[in-house]
């Protein structure tokens, strides 16, 4: 180790605070980005695995009408048409009736048809234990993996209580499958039932969900297509998981975008950290240069330091990310389960891309941010390097140019954002120049704020106040980066916070208009935002005839799989009084309901946006009697689904689809009756074991808002994370800034400044910096929020939202800035005030 | 003669389909326990003699655990090429009674079928197997009209005409490379095996089956092998057996012979092999003359001698040539496989193949064709 390396190491060791904070800053930046990536990747991987487990080796699926495929069609294919590589499947979900309500996938199969399909049911390595006779002949029998059995604390022959479509059933554990490495993940959370049992459990007597099939060539495909009755379709296995992935696309992009925001903050931090570590040592570097160290050697040392800090920070970052992601996964899978489909994420998966991305952020970004300071440091003349005022005056000279560049960047950003496009990445790309523009304008803002506050400070705090405010400008080369980083982090908080609360109040307004009934009834559903369980029409009739029920609304929701797309169709039987709950974006409100009653359809705003449809457009839907075109009568505001909804009148729905049952019922109570009495009457209806979820308006409204809040919980978590990142950054730069003024403050002390006055100077200064950051953050934050509301969300989901400027969020932001700054000043202030002037000046 | 084979196959189906090991019977018995095999007592058993009633007895007897419809035959194409075939549909019950359930798929009856074609001139052997439940009409058996099917592998009554209590039937099966489509008509009355159709398999009472055979059915139709169609003629053999019995603990397997001699007589003989290598007293058979009247063959009535062996690619050693004699040498037959490798490499391996017969009968030369089944090797 040569003496230069030693010197560099000694510097780092001698400054443990700065060294530690630099590493922590980088670690936090890396971990925020990496943990979101891991959480995203793990949830989509968990979904893929469960999809593959179910699809097995099937190349295609034959899907039927909304009622599934009749048993006899399968027999027809086997016997009349001689198809051998086909297998019937029923897929459903069950949840345990115990406290944790864990969800399992129920897969109904015919063992005798399985051999070409699912390895884990028939492969060479599989051993199945237990009473297989029972599996086939005993009602409600299932088999499951050894691991699942263990986790449930059950053994073969036990029963287990579950809820299927809101009905409680006792499943009999007939046997277990011993898992090996290949089938382990496929068998996770899987209950396997005989096809007969599955039909009985899911109430699909006489029908199967789909037929798995292996097709080797296109000729075969055509042949099968020709055999299919109206309303049936042959689709590729991949398209099932593709549609699910499309569903999550916007959700994932938004999560990624939040992580990118954290990334930008992280980058600033790293840049800030590295610049500081160099700037601080300019004097030392000057000394080294003057004793003959070449400029190349200097930049090499600095880059090597950056590499070390980067590597250590990255390693820490990944470690922290691992723990954060475990935490994030819970939120992400909760949201997916609330909004999209049932998935259980247990394992953490890391892809090479995540590692590359995280490591390049941590290491390469660190080195890149060190290049400029390293270059500058090595170029500077040894003598002038030792004079600090040189750096400051050189930056001050650049302020006008920086401000102009800042404005130019902001304009570029605005132009990019203005380009009409559905591409969300382009929108995100437009945010970047705006942020850079703001960062570049920071020095001029600092000067303005200081100009205004210097007299105020002087008046309030006397000479110490003036000294505190002036030194921000004197040290502008360092203060501006710290202020910009803090401002950006706070702005991100304001942006995301404002967006969420704008969205929230939009949704609440909409909910209040839409949920205009007294009592709501549905079956317990595993997906909170959707009713995937069905109530029989008999229950509807029973409720209709109850005393105290004035009016009734009901709807049925089904999914249509159409050429790789997944549509949600809502068939509503609305009473006229509920018409007012719909706000139309397009379509004449006086006309639309007539058209609707005549068989035309409504689209929700996101749906119309996603598929570029307008009033008057024709939309082709796969009915049970083949494809049919429907005219769009109106487009309504709706925030229930980011996938968008198609709404059709129930009477017309019944003409085109054979589906039985309703997904939800809502009723209006007679003026003379009490809501609670009617609610109790409904709850005590005889329903053959079908559980009913009966909710009042207030409860449903509140629980809807709860789901909304849960959805954005992850955004909140990220918001907090980026504040922590920023906070650490601010702490490290302000602390370095103050600690570095040791000598200057020592001189002041020697000249008679009291320790308490010194403490005051340091803290007044950081406070003003925090305030400046707040001043910058508020407009930037609201601009970010507006971009998120009007551009990003609109382009991702097609939602129109009301934008709100929220004083509470802005006050909060200002408090965060001030608190961060204050906290960062306490330790250096305290330390400085305690140091004896002699010690502080000793290096001379 | 296949009851255990059926149970074993199903056990294997559940346990490790692709891992086709020759399963020795000892191990299989414990496997079948794991399958949750219903105790024998629950099913009906062949304890005493019964009156066979047709067409009813052509159909299923679901209260017995196992049952099969077994066809083999030797055929010649118009251009003189020789073929053999085996087509068997097995039924096994998981319980005596079917539980009352809503789903059409609910079944306590499982069907299995084996199908093989031997291309004797081409020295090739094609085989396949199928499994299905009875539910949703995927498989089944009925007496009138006489239909037995496992998906599109079928035995179907084609017309009302009945000869010797058996309707004219079509036998159809198709695998990836081989396909058969025959019309069968019996030319002799059925033969009740052993004691008026009650065929004892072991010492224990009830360890027996009900067993009748049609030993000669005129067969006409087509064989398609790898896309090439042959119009063929010849004779088939049909066995019907149902039971709830199993091999005794000391029994290891069996060698079964169904021989159709060119003098229009037939010989059936099976030898139960014990674990110690000797032949069980329950080995027996039947001799059928040209008019269809039959005579029992007891163990001591014949001497069966293995004169050659064939080693299967996986190392199993199977007898591959036999001498079958009466002690008086009135019948002295040499039996040779038409193709050496006729190994049914399905869920449970066994050898079942077309054989050629030469030798002397009552002093004069005789020839014939037949089928041999070897299990437990």
Q: Virtual CA dihedral for A521, A525, A528, A529, nearest 10 degrees?
A: -70
Q: Which two tokens stand for residue A465?
A: 């106040």
CB contact under 8 A, B136 and A74: yes
CA distance A593 to A579: 8
Residues B86-115 pLDDT 10s: 999 999 888 888 888 999 999 999 999 999
Find chain A residues with C-beta within 8 A of B9's C-beta.
Answer: none
Q: Which helix (H) or strand (E) holds A265?
A: helix A237-280
Residues 6+ apart with CB under 8 A from A637: A510, A583, A584, A585, A604, A605, A800
Q: Give the CATH number for residue B15.
A: 2.40.370.10
CA distance B197 to B184: 23
CA distance A133 to A611: 51
Q: Which helix (H) or strand (E) holds A780?
A: helix A755-786
Q: Which two tokens stand for residue B340?
A: 């050496």
Pairing of strands A584-586, A549-562: unpaired
Q: Which two tokens stand for residue A46?
A: 């968990």
CA distance A723 to A716: 11
Based on the fold, state whether residues A358 and A457 are members of the same structural domain: no
What pLDDT, on a 0 to 100 scale, did the predictor assign at position A698? Answer: 86
Report yes or no: B113 and B127 within 8 Å, Cβ to Cβ.
no
Query: Which candidate, B233, B245, B253, places its Cα nearest to that of B209?
Result: B245
Residues 6+ apart with CB under 8 A from A495: A261, A780, A781, A782, A783, A784, A785, A787, A788
Q: Which two tokens stand for residue B73?
A: 């035959």
- Nearest-by-Cβ selection for A196 from B34, B94, B101: B101
Q: Is residue A532 part of a domain?
A: yes
The Cα of B37 is separated from the nearest Cα of chain A by a number of Å equal to 7
Residues 6+ apart with CB under 8 A from B119: B81, B83, B125, B126, B225, B339
Based on the fold, state whether residues A47 and A195 are members of the same structural domain: no
Residues A57-103 pLDDT 10s: 888 899 888 888 999 999 999 999 999 899 999 988 888 887 777 78
Q: Is residue A718 part of a domain?
A: yes
Q: How many domains does chain A divide into?
A: 4
Residues in chain A: 844
Find chain B residues with C-beta within 8 A of A139's C-beta.
Answer: 99, 101
Who wins on pLDDT, A10 or A814?
Answer: A814
* End-to-end CA, chain A: 28
Based on the fold, state whether residues A274 and A367 are members of the same structural domain: yes
Q: Please tell me the pTM assigned to this model.
A: 0.76
Count of Cβ atoms closer than 10 Å to residue A283 Cβ: 16
What pLDDT, on a 0 to 100 scale, did the predictor assign at position B143? Answer: 94
DSSP states of B6-45 as a string?
HHHHHHHHHH-TT--PPPPHHHHHHHHHHTTPPPGGGS--
Query: Which candidate, A673, A691, A700, places its Cα nearest to that of A546?
Result: A673
What phi and psi values does residue B21 have, to the nearest 5 degrees?
-95, 150
In terms of CA atoms, which chain A residue is nearest residue B11? A132
In terms of CA atoms, which chain B residue is nearest residue A109? B105
User: Minimum mean pLDDT among A285-294, B22-31, B73-82, B114-123: which range?
Assistant: B22-31
Residues A481-516 pLDDT 10s: 778 878 888 888 888 888 888 888 888 888 888 888
CA distance A497 to A490: 10
Domain closes at, from A158, A184, A208: A208
Domain closes at, from A183, A208, A233: A208
Domain that holds residue B348: 3-374
A216 reaches B (C-beta below 8 A): no
DSSP states of A704-748 as a string?
HHHHHHHHTHHHHHHHHHHHHHHHHHHHHHHHHHHHHTHHHHHHH
Query: Which candidate, A224, A192, A220, places its Cα nearest to that of A211?
Result: A224
**CA neighbours closer than 13 Å in the CB half-sphere of residue A38:** 27
Domain closes at, from A162, A188, A208: A208
CA distance A433 to A439: 10
In terms of CA atoms, which chain B residue is nearest residue A108? B105
Based on the fold, state whether residues A381 and A254 are members of the same structural domain: yes
Pairing of strands B294-298, B284-288: antiparallel
Q: Virtual CA dihedral for A103, A108, A114, A119, nearest 10 degrees?
A: 0
Collapse the DSSP code of B268 into the 3-class scheme (helix H, G, I; strand E, B; otherwise coil) and give the result: strand
Find chain B residues with C-beta within 8 A of A126's C-beta.
Answer: 16
Q: Which two tokens stand for residue B265?
A: 């007589």
Q: How many domains does chain B divide into?
A: 1
What pLDDT, on a 0 to 100 scale, did the predictor assign at position B29? Answer: 38
CA distance A555 to A666: 9
Pairing of strands A565-573, A646-649: parallel
A57 reaches B (C-beta below 8 A): no
Who wins on pLDDT, B338 or A474?
Answer: B338
Pairing of strands B82-93, B66-77: antiparallel
In which band, very low, low, confident or very high, does the pLDDT at B264 lie, cut at 50, 70 and 90?
very high
A526 has a pLDDT exceeding 70: no
CB contact under 8 A, B17 and A132: no
Based on the fold, state whether residues A494 and A550 are members of the same structural domain: no
Q: Which of A520-534, A668-682, B24-38 has the highest mean pLDDT?
A: A668-682
Report yes or no: A748 and A840 within 8 Å, Cβ to Cβ.
no
Which residues are bridge partners to A634 per DSSP? A602
Which residues are bridge partners to B256 per DSSP? B270, B373
Report the alpha-carbon angle A109-A113-A118, nearest 5.
Answer: 65
Q: Three-class SS string for A85-144?
A: CEEEEEEEEEEECCCCCCEEEEEEECHHHCCCCCHHHHCCCCEEEECHHHHHHCCCEEEE
Based on the fold, state whether residues A539 and A676 are members of the same structural domain: yes
What pLDDT, on a 0 to 100 scale, did the predictor assign at position B113? Answer: 93
Report yes or no: B177 and B226 within 8 Å, Cβ to Cβ.
yes
The chain-wide mean pLDDT, for chain A, equals 83
pLDDT above 70 covers a percentage of chain A that reads 88
Which residues of chain B are at the A interface, by a Cβ-Cβ cutoff of 8 Å? 13-19, 34-38, 94-95, 98-99, 101-108, 110, 131-133, 135-138, 149, 151-152, 174
CA distance B369 to A413: 91
Q: Which helix (H) or strand (E) holds B192?
A: strand B191-192
A196 reaches B (C-beta below 8 A): yes
CA distance A439 to A402: 9
Preceding peptide of B145 cis, ω within 30°: yes
CA distance A268 to A636: 42
- Nearest-by-Cβ selection for B99 from A79, A131, A139: A139
What pLDDT, on a 0 to 100 scale, did the predictor assign at position B286? Answer: 94
Q: Which two tokens stand for residue A142?
A: 């299932």
Based on the fold, state whether residues A352 and A270 are members of the same structural domain: yes
* Burial (CB count within 10 angstroms: exposed 0-12, middle 13-18, buried 19+), residue A545: exposed
Residues A176-204 pLDDT 10s: 887 766 667 677 778 999 999 999 999 88
Based on the fold, state whether residues A720 and A638 are members of the same structural domain: no
Q: Is residue A673 part of a domain?
A: yes
What pLDDT, on a 0 to 100 scale, did the predictor assign at position A630? Answer: 96
Can you state the percent helix, strand and coil of chain B, rounding each to 5?
A: 10, 55, 35
CA distance A393 to A576: 74
What pLDDT, on a 0 to 100 scale, did the predictor assign at position A844? Answer: 43
CB–CB contacts below 8 A, A to B: 98
pLDDT above 90 covers a percentage of chain A that reads 20
Count of Cβ atoms closer than 10 Å to residue A307 Cβ: 15
- Nearest-by-Cβ selection for A71 from B38, B95, B104: B104
* Burial (CB count within 10 angstroms: exposed 0-12, middle 13-18, buried 19+), residue A430: buried
CB contact under 8 A, B94 and A136: yes
What pLDDT, on a 0 to 100 scale, did the predictor assign at position B25? Answer: 39
What pLDDT, on a 0 to 100 scale, did the predictor assign at position B20? Answer: 36
Based on the fold, state whether residues A139 and A28 are members of the same structural domain: no
The Cα of A685 is separated from the nearest Cα of chain B by a number of Å equal to 25
Residues A551-580 pLDDT 10s: 999 999 888 887 777 888 999 998 888 888
* End-to-end CA, chain B: 15
Based on the fold, state whether residues A44 and A110 are members of the same structural domain: no
Preceding peptide of B55 cis, ω within 30°: yes
The Cα of A194 is separated from the nearest Cα of chain B by a number of Å equal to 9
Pairing of strands B109-119, B82-93: antiparallel
CA distance A608 to A795: 12
Domain that holds residue A357: 1-61+244-386
A48 has a pLDDT exceeding 80: no
* Burial (CB count within 10 angstroms: exposed 0-12, middle 13-18, buried 19+), residue A618: exposed
Which residues are bridge partners to A558 per DSSP? A569
In which band, very low, low, confident or very high, does the pLDDT at A387 lie, cut at 50, 70 and 90?
low
Pairing of strands B364-374, B331-337: unpaired
Q: Three-class SS string for A509-568?
A: HHHHHHCCCCEEEECCCCCCCCCCCCECHHHHHHHHCCCCEEEEEEEEEEEEEECCEEEE
Based on the fold, state whether residues A119 and A200 are members of the same structural domain: yes
What pLDDT, on a 0 to 100 scale, did the predictor assign at position A726? Answer: 67
* Burial (CB count within 10 angstroms: exposed 0-12, middle 13-18, buried 19+), residue A479: buried
CA distance A604 to A623: 20
Q: Which helix (H) or strand (E) holds A266?
A: helix A237-280
Q: Which of A90-104, A398-412, A795-809, B193-207 has the highest mean pLDDT?
A: A398-412
Based on the fold, state whether residues A595 and A509 are members of the same structural domain: no
CB contact under 8 A, A124 and B103: no
CA distance A610 to A211: 30
B336 has a pLDDT exceeding 80: yes
A581 reaches B (C-beta below 8 A): no
* Burial (CB count within 10 angstroms: exposed 0-12, middle 13-18, buried 19+), residue A379: exposed
**DSSP code for B39:** P
């Amino acid at each position: 180790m040569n003496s230069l390396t030693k010197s560099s190491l000694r510097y780092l060791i001698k400054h443990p605070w700065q060294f530690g904070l630099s590493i922590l800053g980088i670690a936090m930046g890396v971990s925020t980005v990496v943990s979101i990536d891991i959480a995203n990747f793990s949830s989509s991987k968990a979904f893929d695995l469960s999809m593959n487990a179910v699809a097995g080796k099937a190349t295609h699926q034959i899907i039927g009408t909304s009622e599934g495929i009749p048993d006899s069609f399968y027999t027809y294919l086997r016997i009349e048409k001689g198809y051998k590589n086909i297998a019937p499947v029923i897929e459903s979900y069950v949840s345990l009736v115990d406290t944790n309500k864990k969800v399992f996938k129920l897969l109904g199969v015919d063992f005798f048809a399985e051999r070409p399909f699912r390895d884990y049911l028939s492969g060479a390595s599989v051993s199945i234990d237990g009473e297989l006779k029972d599996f086939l002949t005993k009602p409600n029998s299932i088999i499951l993996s050894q691991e699942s059995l263990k986790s449930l604390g059950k053994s073969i022959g036990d029963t287990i209580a579950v809820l299927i479509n809101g009905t409680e059933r006792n499943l009999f554990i007939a046997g277990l499958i011993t898992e090996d490495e290949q089938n382990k993940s496929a068998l996770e959370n899987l209950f396997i039932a005989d096809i007969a049992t599955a039909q009985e459990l899911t109430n699909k007597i006489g029908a199967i969900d789909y037929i798995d099939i292996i097709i080797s060539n296109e000729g075969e495909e055509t042949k099968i297509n020709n055999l299919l009755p109206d309303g049936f379709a042959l689709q590729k296995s991949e398209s099932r998981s593709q549609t699910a992935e499309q569903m999550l696309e916007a959700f994932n992009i938004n999560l990624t975008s939040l992580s990118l925001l954290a990334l930008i903050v992280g980058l600033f931090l790293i840049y800030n950290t590295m610049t500081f570590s160099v700037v601080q040592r300019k004097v030392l570097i000057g000394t080294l240069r003057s004793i003959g160290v070449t400029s190349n050697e200097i930049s090499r040392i600095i880059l090597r330091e950056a590499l070390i800090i980067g590597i250590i920070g990255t390693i820490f970052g990944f470690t922290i990310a691992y723990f954060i992601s475990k935490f994030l996964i819970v939120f992400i899978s909760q949201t997916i389960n609330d909004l999209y489909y049932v998935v259980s994420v247990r394992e953490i998966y890391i892809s090479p891309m995540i590692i590359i991305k995280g490591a390049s952020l941590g290491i390469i970004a660190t080195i890149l941010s060190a290049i400029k300071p390293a270059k500058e440091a090595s170029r500077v003349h040894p003598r002038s390097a030792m004079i600090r005022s040189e750096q400051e005056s050189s930056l001050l000279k650049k302020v006008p140019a920086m401000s102009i560049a800042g404005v130019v960047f902001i304009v570029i950003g605005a132009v990019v954002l203005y380009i009409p496009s559905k591409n969300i990445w382009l929108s995100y790309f437009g945010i970047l120049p705006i942020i850079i523009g703001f960062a570049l304008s920071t020095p001029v803002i600092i000067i303005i704020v200081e100009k205004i506050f210097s007299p105020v400070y002087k008046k309030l705090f006397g000479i110490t106040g003036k000294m505190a405010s002036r030194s921000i400008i004197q040290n502008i080369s360092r203060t501006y980066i710290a202020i910009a980083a803090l401002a950006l982090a706070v702005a991100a908080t304001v942006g995301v916070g404002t967006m969420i609360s704008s969205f929230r109040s939009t949704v609440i307004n909409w909910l209040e208009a839409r949920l205009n009934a007294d009592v709501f009834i549905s079956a317990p559903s595993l997906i909170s935002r959707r009713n995937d369980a069905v109530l029989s029409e008999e229950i509807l009739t029973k409720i209709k005839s109850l005393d105290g029920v004035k009016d009734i609304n009901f709807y049925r929701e089904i999914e249509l799989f159409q050429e790789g797309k997944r549509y949600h169709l809502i068939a509503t039987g609305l009473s006229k009084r509920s018409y007012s709950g719909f706000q139309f974006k397009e379509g004449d409100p006086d006309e639309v309901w007539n058209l609707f009653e005549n068989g035309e359809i409504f689209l929700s705003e996101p749906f119309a946006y996603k598929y570029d449809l307008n009033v008057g457009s024709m939309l082709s839907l796969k009915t049970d009697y083949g494809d049919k075109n429907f005219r769009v009568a109106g487009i309504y505001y709706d925030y229930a689904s980011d996938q968008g909804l198609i709404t059709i009148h129930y009477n017309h729905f019944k003409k085109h689809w054979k589906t039985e049952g309703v997904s939800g019922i809502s009723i209006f109570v007679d003026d003379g009756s009490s809501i609670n009495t009617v609610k109790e009457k409904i709850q005590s209806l005889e329903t053959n074991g079908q559980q009913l979820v009966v909710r009042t308006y207030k409860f449903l409204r509140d629980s809807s808002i709860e789901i909304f809040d849960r959805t954005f919980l992850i955004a909140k978590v990220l918001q907090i994370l980026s504040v922590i990142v920023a906070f650490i950054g601010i702490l490290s730069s302000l602390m370095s800034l103050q600690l570095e003024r040791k000598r200057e403050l020592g001189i002041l002390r020697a000249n008679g400044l009291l320790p308490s006055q010194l403490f005051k100077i340091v803290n007044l200064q950081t406070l003003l910096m925090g305030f400046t950051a707040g001043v910058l953050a508020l407009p930037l934050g609201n601009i970010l929020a507006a971009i998120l509301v009007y551009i990003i969300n609109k382009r991702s989901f097609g939602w129109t939202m009301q934008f709100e400027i929220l004083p509470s969020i802005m006050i909060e932001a200002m408090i965060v800035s001030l608190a961060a700054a204050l906290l960062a000043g306490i330790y250096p202030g305290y330390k400085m005030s305690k140091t004896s002037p002699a010690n502080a000046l000793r290096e001379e | 003669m296949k009851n255990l084979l059926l149970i074993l196959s199903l056990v294997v189906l559940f346990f490790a389909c692709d891992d086709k090991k020759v399963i020795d019977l000892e191990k299989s018995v414990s496997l079948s326990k794991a399958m949750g095999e219903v105790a024998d007592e629950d099913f009906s058993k062949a304890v005493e003699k019964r009156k066979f009633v047709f067409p009813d007895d052509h159909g299923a007897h679901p209260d017995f655990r196992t049952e099969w419809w077994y066809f083999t035959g030797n055929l010649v194409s118009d251009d003189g090429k020789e073929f053999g075939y085996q087509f068997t549909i097995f039924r096994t019950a998981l319980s005596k009674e079917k539980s009352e359930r809503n789903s059409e798929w609910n079944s306590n009856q499982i069907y299995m079928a084996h199908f093989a074609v031997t291309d004797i001139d081409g020295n090739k052997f094609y085989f396949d197997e199928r499994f299905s439940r009875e539910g949703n009409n995927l498989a089944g058996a009925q007496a009138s009209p006489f239909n037995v099917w496992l998906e599109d592998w079928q035995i179907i009554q084609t017309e009302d005409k009945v000869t010797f209590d058996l309707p004219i039937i079509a036998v159809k099966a198709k695998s990836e490379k081989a396909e058969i489509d025959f019309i069968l008509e019996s030319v002799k009355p059925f033969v009740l095996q052993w004691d008026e159709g009650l065929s004892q398999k072991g010492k224990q009472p009830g360890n027996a089956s009900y067993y009748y055979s049609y030993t000669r059915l005129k067969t006409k139709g087509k064989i398609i092998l790898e896309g090439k169609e042959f119009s063929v003629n010849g004779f088939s053999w049909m066995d019907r057996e149902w039971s709830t019995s199993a091999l005794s603990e000391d029994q290891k397997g069996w060698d079964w012979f169904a021989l159709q001699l060119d003098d229009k007589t037939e010989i059936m003989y099976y030898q139960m092999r014990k674990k110690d290598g000797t032949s069980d007293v329950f080995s027996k058979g039947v001799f059928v003359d040209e008019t269809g009247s039959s005579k029992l063959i007891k163990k001591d009535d014949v001497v069966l001698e293995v004169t050659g062996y064939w080693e299967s690619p996986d190392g199993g050693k199977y007898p591959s040539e036999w001498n079958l004699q009466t002690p008086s040498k009135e019948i002295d037959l040499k039996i040779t496989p038409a193709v050496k490798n006729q190994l049914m490499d399905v869920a449970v391996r066994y050898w079942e193949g077309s054989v050629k017969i030469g030798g002397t009968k009552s002093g004069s030369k005789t020839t014939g064709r037949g089928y041999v089944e070897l299990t437990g090797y």
